[in-house]
Structure 1
Amino acid sequence: MGPLILLTKRLLSVQGANAWKKLTGACFFLGGLAMPSAGQAATGPLPADSAYTVQVIRNVRYAPQPDSMKTDTSSDRLLDLYLPAVKGKLPVLVFVHGGGFSGGDKRQVTSLCTKIASRGIAVLSVNYRLFLKHHKIPGASASANMAAGLPAAGAFNPALQHAVEVASEDAQLVFRWIGSHAREYAFNKRKVAISGGSAGAMTSLYTAYASRQKVLPVGAVVNLWGGLPDAGVIEKNAPPLLTFHGDKDKLINVAYAYALDKQMKQLGNVSELHVMEGKGHAAYKEIELHYVPEVAAFVMKHLK
């Protein structure tokens, strides 16, 4: 059975006109050079020259529209689904975009999400409330708090911290949506990881290690140039962490990556750190070109 037929069957298994709407509104991508059989299960990372066909469904609502941000779609609670043509239940990666809690949009990581999904992982790229976009507060930007290194007091400006917590609240609503739609999209709700870049990474780290959320367990974290104000909040048996950070990052100092890695390893937790030589902030293209197989392998390994 071909990949497009499998995707059609997956969609039409959802009852009624809603399934046909999703089918006709979906986009399809080839995420690599060679495609394995559509019936092949995603039991591990694929060879570097292989990929599953990926179906993309845009602007799925995961929670009610925020009353205060109705005219701003980038602050709305919408997600894009990247679904590989894989038989059986799918591991899930929630991806939170960056933008300093004042900008950015889920579509800016389309290429990266497609490539990760082509390795056999369902990727959910999410928009969320951008608190600092709608509340201009001096001294609250990520660069003002993080460019020079770790905060001496172990805390961010209160407005920045609040922006992180607001974004994390929406990430937890995404977890709730995954749980309630697991059967519809063949999600394995016991195998959920979270990732993001910059502000999205800060949100992911806070959600996994500091929020104490109980919606779904986080199985792994992929941190792209983010940080926590105090890595000491991480506890023993915390979810495994994979970090990428440029040593020339002028917005979020690489000291945040070292602090996370040190705390994780001191507690006996799993942590892998890649400090990218000569790279600055938001090195998405570097991840796309060189590290997608490693990201996928890490997620697959730790979502047991």
Structure 2
Amino acid sequence: MKWIIALILLPCVLQAQTRITYAVKGNDTLYIDHYEPTVSPNGMSIMFVHGGGFTGGDPKNQKPFAEGMQKRGYNVFVISYRLYLKGGEFGCNTVTPVKLKAISTAVEDAADAAKYIISNAATLKVDTSKFFISGSSAGAETILQLLYNPWAKTDKARYDYFATPRFKGALIFAGALIDINTLKQENWVPMLLMHGTKDQLVPYGTASHHYCPANSDGWMIMFGAKTILEQAKTWNKPALLYTYTGKGHEVSGYMFREFDKIDSFMQDVVKGKTIAPEDIVIGAGVK
């Protein structure tokens, strides 16, 4: 009887991830944790970039997101990347050029990881026409700069590959752009954004990163979810913003809880449904 019960329960056991090395850069071995669907695959894949202020963070901490999406039929890839400021800080005392170097380093690695996944699509069971990119906090900043890249012209060898659209859409949890002018009608991808109005680190609208004063070493204007949505409305481009009134930077972790919203958005994008730019405001205390 015991072995019969074990066999009945076996399909419910989550499949352990496979770790893949995608690059070696100096002393850093960069890898991807691959989580295959544990139910019938829906054909969609996600590359996820973790947060941590470019000083820390770890792909293993994204396991709840990966497993939650696994159980909905998604093929998930959580990447590591070089932490240029590992052990340091990304605050107002870190000079702006160093902050930009930290971001650009992460963007380089995210680009290389995406290329690896796409180049090995058959082996990794990726339908490249249904390939999404996602990130949280520093990871969200990384993917936004990869999509709307301020370094594209100065590093064509790396980024010309992305002149052809490579992602079906983007899932952005508390992220911001460093240059709003890189956002153009012709390079737009459908975006699901989640951001708190009281985010104390990454601005919800347009403001200094970490709200650093203008005379600080680390002053740097960034353009958050609200500003991105306003541009989407101007051009009538697909973007869905969940605004969490009164919430702070904790919204960067909402990929662990908003699975239904994420799944619905991705399904609509793949099905070709019209997604009008919309701000869905969720009041303080409302889940």
Following TM superposition, by how much is the alpha carbon of 1:286 offset from its aligned partner in structure 2, in angstroms? 4.1
SS of equivalent residue, structure 1 residue 80: strand
Q: Which structure 1 segments of 5+ residues have no match?
A: 6-27, 31-52, 71-75, 146-155
TM-aligned CA distance change 1:172 to 1:29, over 3 Å: farther
Following TM superposition, by how much is the alpha carbon of 1:168 offset from its aligned partner in structure 2, in angstroms? 1.2
TM-aligned CA distance change 1:133 to 1:223, over 3 Å: same
**Which one of the candidate residues 66, 70, 74 is aligned to 2:25?**
66
**Which one of the candidate residues 92, 96, 101 is aligned to 1:144?**
92
Q: Deviations over 1:138-162 (max 9, x none)?
A: xx72x439xxxxxxxxxx9222222
Indicate yes or no: 2:222 matched with 1:269.
Answer: no
**TM-score of the pair, normalised by structure 1:** 0.69
Distance 2:268 2:126 in 1: 17
**TM-score of the pair, normalised by structure 2:** 0.73
Number of equivalences: 234
SS of equivalent residue, structure 1 residue 169: helix
Query: How is 1:95-244 mapped onto 2 (pairs within 5 angstroms)?
Result: 95-133=48-86, 141=90, 143-144=91-92, 157-210=96-149, 212=152, 213=159, 214-215=161-162, 217-237=166-186, 238-244=188-194
Structure 1: which 4+ aligned runs deviate by more than 4 Å?
A: 86-89
SS of equivalent residue, structure 2 residue 237: coil
**Which one of the candidate residues 243, 248, 251 is aligned to 1:280?**
248
Tell whether the 8 Å contact from 1:168 to 1:206 is kept in structure 2 after alignment: yes
TM-aligned CA distance change 1:54 to 1:266, over 3 Å: farther
Distance 2:270 2:148 in 1: 17
The AA in structure 1 aligned to 2:73 is G
Following TM superposition, by how much is the alpha carbon of 1:285 offset from its aligned partner in structure 2, in angstroms? 5.4
Distance 2:253 2:141 in 1: 20
Q: Which structure 2 segments of 5+ residues have no match?
A: 1-6, 153-158, 206-223, 272-287
The AA in structure 2 aligned to 1:144 is C
Tell whether the 8 Å contact from 1:96 to 1:195 is kept in structure 2 after alignment: yes
Tell whether the 8 Å contact from 1:56 to 1:80 is kept in structure 2 after alignment: no
Following TM superposition, by how much is the alpha carbon of 1:232 offset from its aligned partner in structure 2, in angstroms? 2.6
Report the RMSD for the aligned CA atoms in angstroms.
2.7
